[in-house]
Structure 1
């Protein structure tokens, strides 16, 4: 899950160094604007085969929580 998210971040934000992607950060902390955040979510959910609506990812506080949410969606 975490690796797929890191790869999606790398696709959308290629200038972000992988070491900056830590669980306590929000995608905004990495320089992602609202469109970037949507693209990252679309990229990672496509990779993982998750079909949850985008709205289910709107209140995620940080990368750790996003990984948890993705894990729940994959198990569902």
Structure 2
């Protein structure tokens, strides 16, 4: 395998791993803040408010997941994230990548 192909494969593996860690951490935090939700209700296309999270819940979820992942990022960076998949993408592009 050429160095370029190896590097691309390694980068893809790191990106997948970062996304998996971000997704797992986010789902765990959501379930801890919104315990009445069934796991199957938490899907990538839903916004946190679709799950019943009020503004305080949303702040707690973002703070909880960033702390869990060791990410130091202003809350304002998360305001434009449209849904759970977008949040996972945003989290996995940071220091986890």
TM-score tier (shorter): over 0.9
* CA RMSD in angstroms, aligned pairs only: 1.0
Equivalent in the alignment of 1:41: 62
Aligned to 1:22: 43
1:4-32 Cα distance to aligned partner (Å, 9 max, x none): 00000011111111111111000000000
Structure 2: give runs of 5+ residues left out of the alignment.
1-21
Aligned length: 76
Higher alpha-carbon Rg: 2
Instruction: Write out the 4+ residue segments of structure 1 that deviate beyond 6 Å after TM superposition.
Output: none
2:73 is paired with a residue whose SS is coil
- Asked if the contact 1:12–1:40 (Cα under 8 Å) also holds between the matched residues in 2, the reply is yes
Could you report, residue by residue, the CA deviation over 1:2-60 in whole angstroms, capped at 9, with x for unpaired residues?
A: 11000000111111111111110000000000110000000000000000100000111
User: How big is the shift at 1:75?
Assistant: 3.8
